[in-house]
Amino acid sequence: MPLITLALLAAALGYAVFESGGVLRAEWNVSLLLIGASALLYWLILRRSDASAPLDPGLRLPIFLLPAYLLLQLAPLPLGILRFVSPARTELTAAIARAAPAVNFAPLSVAPFATFEQLFRYLAYIAVFLTIRELAWRFDRHAWLIMVPLVIMAVAEAAAGIAQAHQAGFARGTYVNRNHFAGFLELSLPFAAAYSVMTLGRGRVRPLPLRQAFIACLAIATAALLFMGVVDSLSRMGFLASLAGLMTVALFSVAGRKRPMLALITVAVIAAAIWLPPDALIRRLTNLRAPGEISTATRLNIWADTCRLIKAYPAFGCGAGTYESAMHRYQTAAPLNTVDYAHNDYLQLLAELGIPGVVILAAGLFALVKKSIRDARQPSDSEDRYLSIAGLGALAAILVHSAADFNLYIPANALAVAWIAGIAARANHSLR
């Protein structure tokens, strides 16, 4: 029965991925229904009388606090309190009152419907995180199977993107934006690479059986295909993030061994950064502007405008999912266009959630990375260890990419991050 739950979650992720990354509300609602069905099936029916995997205390509190914090942003507050905690929101309320009946209560969010919609997104991510974590614990030594659906989708996207690149000049798969296409591939790449390292490492002790040798070759080919898809996307941050993910896998794989290996890995990654990119990607890496995309100067101006938005709503933010609505008042960059994303996940999260919300997310991320590093540094060469190493590589990749893009605001990619976080947070049988 857990396989049925996994299949429903895979269907939810796959539908979002292959329908433009789930950016359209109608398509994302289908994924939401599938996620809800899988969560109800597992938590209310399959696991009703069974024991659950213990959750790390450092993760338990952020999971509870984040939805509660969004509900706080939606709660109607008396104007006297609102004036104290969010003067900018009070000014908006006063401006509306000039053309409408007197308002005595208002929420912290400048666009409550958008925050309500974002709340359901976060609840979906949390549901996927908890369910995948539970399934990974139950699969025990076969936890790698949990990643198979995600890797298969990434391979399909990469193959479609590479075919596109020969016609259109760059790859974007089923995504609207090449950067988000690369963001999805870079999340699966460390898992293919880590599985290759793990399987080939066993060959140092004794010759690999034919079946394991075939699987190792398949993992290497998968990693190569995914990396080729990222390269063909011509995404600058996607390429750098992929290298960061691969380097994380390499460094933790040789941790505790000879230091010359660390130097060799560093040199290999630098060489890859120099010689692997095609001419088109090198031109993109050296140019400040790419055709059809915003210039670096415009991006920097958007960041400056976002900082003004953050300054106006420092305590509790303007409301989750309300960046586009709140930005109008502070926008100076691209005045003829709508700025719906900050092109920097960290700045946008700070603008929308304020300091308390970002602290909640940072606390959860810290606990997750701390646990993953602890598991990855185990002396054994178990599958659990390499699964933790792969999770660290994926997290490193998306954290690098988020500095200049908004992958975490693409539902399919955010769902994939929640999936991987669930695997990284699993309670390991073999590492306890």
pLDDT, tens digit, 9 for 90 and up, residues 214-233: 888 899 999 999 999 999 99
Number of Cβ atoms within 10 Å of the Cβ of 284 = 19
How far apart CA 190 and CA 223 sit, in angstroms, is 8
Domain-located, residue 139: yes
Domain-located, residue 284: yes
Residue with the bigger pLDDT between 275 and 376: it is 376
Q: 320 near 351, Cβ under 8 Å?
A: no
User: How large is the average pLDDT for residues 6-21?
Assistant: 94
- Domain of 75? 60-290+375-424
Task: Give, to the nearest 10 degrees, the angle between helix 2-18 and helix 25-40.
Answer: 170
The residue with tokens 């460390």 is 190
Q: How many distinct structural domains can be found in the chain?
A: 1
Domain-located, residue 165: yes
Q: 178 near 170, Cβ under 8 Å?
A: yes
How far apart CA 337 and CA 216 sit, in angstroms, is 49
Domain-located, residue 134: yes
Q: What is the pLDDT of residue 287?
A: 57
Confidence of residue 390 (pLDDT cuts 50, 70, 90): very high
User: What DSSP character marks residue 408?
Assistant: G
Average pLDDT, the chain: 85
Nearest to 342 by CA among 296, 413, 407, 405: 405
User: How large is the average pLDDT for residues 71-89?
Assistant: 90
List all residues 6 or more positions away from 431 whose beta carbon is below 8 Å from its beta carbon: 375, 378, 380, 382, 384, 385, 388
Confidence of residue 432 (pLDDT cuts 50, 70, 90): very low
Q: How far apart are the first and last CA of the chain?
A: 26
How far apart CA 296 and CA 103 sit, in angstroms, is 42
User: How large is the average pLDDT for residues 139-160?
Assistant: 91
Domain-located, residue 82: yes
Confidence of residue 255 (pLDDT cuts 50, 70, 90): low
Confidence of residue 82 (pLDDT cuts 50, 70, 90): confident
- Per-residue pLDDT tens digits for 295-321: 778 889 999 999 999 999 999 999 999
pTM above 0.85, yes or no: yes
How far apart CA 350 and CA 348 sit, in angstroms, is 5
Domain-located, residue 368: no
Nearest to 303 by CA among 359, 337, 350: 350
Q: What is the pLDDT of residue 298?
A: 86
Domain-located, residue 22: no
How far apart CA 261 and CA 263 sit, in angstroms, is 5
- Report the DSSP beta bridge partners of residue 106: 77
Number of Cβ atoms within 10 Å of the Cβ of 143 = 21
> Exposed, middle or buried: residue 378 (CB in 10 Å: 0-12, 13-18, 19+)?
middle
Domain-located, residue 164: yes
